[in-house]
């Protein structure tokens, strides 16, 4: 999608890109690209871009005055990532912001010169995007979303919420190193703590509805949705099925709960996009990506959706409610 289409689409959501006349320009216009793993109409994608744009304005970068932003929305369509990455690189930007691993991977194969600030990546070292977190090397640096160990907490949370839990459907993307890593942690914890049966499901599988239907045919089940672009863009379908089959579902991030998830434990993603603006600012002012260490989230949130709990006829333990950073009524 072209930048002009994006501006039209977000106007309805009160996202305003300040524009100043050429006569008012005090500095040369710098050009950045953004490759996002959402469609333009996705509310979560819009929230992330609002957070980024606001932080950029606070740092003095005003769209149309000293900044030009080209945005592409891949929507987790595999063929769009390389095509849009190529378009952005050929536009000769000063920098590209890449959201999630598929965006970074597409850019990695096209340029070693354009600085890339990635956001919402789980394992940049394992994926080969950087040599180390402290010393990224190359043209890339950015912000991780969490460590693999967080995946074990999702299983612990699901067990605490669901008395008699014996079976867990784990939605993970097996095409990504991060999907394999998250599932491995859950699998290790399940085998070490109890006789827990795990069923792995691919969010990109067109037969996932049939898979969940078969899984829900036996009692004692729940679901964990691990973090991936494919699960995120299909979250409404996944959570609709979870509610239909009365499967308590723990999610990696808060925004899943808007669509019916029971609980989430993870970082504040729009806040990470705000932090990414600082790296963009520093690189535009001369810093090298190789000299900027990859940063982890500074805070994790436990969020409980009491409305979903009622729909599932679950009683959330008082101790868990007391620990929650937010309870959605």
Check whether residue 170 and residue 250 sit in a common domain.
Answer: yes
Check whether residue 238 and residue 95 sit in a common domain.
Answer: no
- Share the mean pLDDT of the chain: 90
Total domains in the chain come to: 2
pLDDT bracket for residue 193 (50, 70, 90): low
pLDDT digits (tens, 9 = 90+) for 194-216: 678 999 999 989 899 999 999 99
pLDDT of residue 23: 40
Residue 327 reports pLDDT greater than 70:
yes
What is the CATH classification number for the domain harbouring 199?
3.40.50.2300
Check whether residue 159 and residue 116 sit in a common domain.
Answer: no
Residue 80 reports pLDDT greater than 50:
yes
Check whether residue 142 and residue 179 sit in a common domain.
Answer: no
Q: Are the C-beta atoms of residues 92 and 51 closer than 8 Å to each other?
A: no
Closest by Cα among 164, 169, 126 to 148: 126
Check whether residue 28 and residue 85 sit in a common domain.
Answer: yes
Read off the pLDDT of each residue in 210-232 and give the average, rounded to a whole number: 93
Read off the pLDDT of each residue in 254-269 and give the average, rounded to a whole number: 94
pLDDT of residue 299: 87
Q: Higher model confidence: residue 68 or residue 77?
A: 68
Share of the chain above pLDDT 70, in %: 91
Read off the pLDDT of each residue in 159-163 and give the average, rounded to a whole number: 93
Domain span at residue 285 reads: 3-146+269-298
Residue 141 reports pLDDT greater than 90:
yes
pLDDT digits (tens, 9 = 90+) for 272-288: 999 999 999 999 999 99
Q: Are the C-beta atoms of residues 182 and 230 closer than 8 Å to each other?
A: no
Check whether residue 226 and residue 141 sit in a common domain.
Answer: no
pLDDT of residue 1: 46
pTM to 2 decimal places: 0.84
pLDDT of residue 194: 67
Check whether residue 11 and residue 142 sit in a common domain.
Answer: yes
Check whether residue 97 and residue 33 sit in a common domain.
Answer: yes
CA trace torsion 206, 208, 213, 217 (10° rounding): 140
pLDDT digits (tens, 9 = 90+) for 85-122: 999 999 999 999 999 999 999 999 899 999 999 999 99
Check whether residue 315 and residue 198 sit in a common domain.
Answer: yes
Check whether residue 42 and residue 120 sit in a common domain.
Answer: yes
Check whether residue 255 and residue 245 sit in a common domain.
Answer: yes
């Amino acid at each position: 999608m072209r930048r002009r289409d994006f501006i039209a689409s977000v106007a309805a959501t009160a996202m305003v890109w300040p524009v100043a006349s050429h006569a008012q320009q005090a500095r040369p216009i710098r050009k950045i690209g953004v490759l996002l793993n959402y469609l333009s109409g996705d509310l979560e994608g819009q929230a992330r871009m609002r957070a980024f744009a606001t932080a950029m304005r606070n740092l003095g970068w005003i769209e149309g005055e000293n900044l030009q932003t080209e945005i592409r929305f891949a929507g987790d369509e595999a063929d769009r990532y390389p095509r849009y990455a190529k378009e952005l690189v050929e536009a000769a930007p000063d920098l590209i912001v890449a959201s999630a691993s598929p965006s970074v991977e597409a850019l990695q194969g096209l340029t070693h010169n354009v600085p890339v600030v990635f956001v919402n990546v789980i394992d940049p070292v394992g994926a080969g995007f950087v040599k180390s977190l402290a010393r990224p090397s190359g043209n890339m640096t950015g912000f991780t979303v969490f460590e693999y160990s967080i995946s074990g907490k999702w299983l612990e949370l699901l067990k605490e919420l669901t008395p008699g839990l014996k079976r867990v459907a784990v939605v993970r993307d097996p095409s990504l190193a991060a999907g394999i890593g998250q599932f491995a942690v859950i699998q290790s914890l399940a085998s070490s703590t109890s006789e827990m049966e795990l069923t792995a499901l691919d969010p990109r599988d067109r037969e996932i509805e049939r898979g969940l239907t078969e899984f829900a045919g036996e009692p004692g089940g729940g679901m964990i949705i691990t973090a991936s672009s494919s699960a995120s863009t299909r979250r409404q379908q996944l959570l609709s099925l979870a509610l239909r089959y009365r499967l308590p579902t723990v999610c990696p991030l808060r925004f899943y709960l808007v669509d019916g998830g029971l609980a989430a434990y993870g970082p504040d993603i729009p806040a990470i996009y705000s932090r990414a603006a600082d790296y963009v600012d520093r690189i535009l002012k001369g810093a090298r990506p190789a000299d900027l260490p990859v940063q982890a989230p500074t805070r994790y949130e436990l969020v409980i959706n009491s409305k979903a709990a009622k729909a599932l006829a679950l009683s959330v333990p008082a101790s868990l409610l007391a620990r929650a950073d937010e309870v959605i009524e």
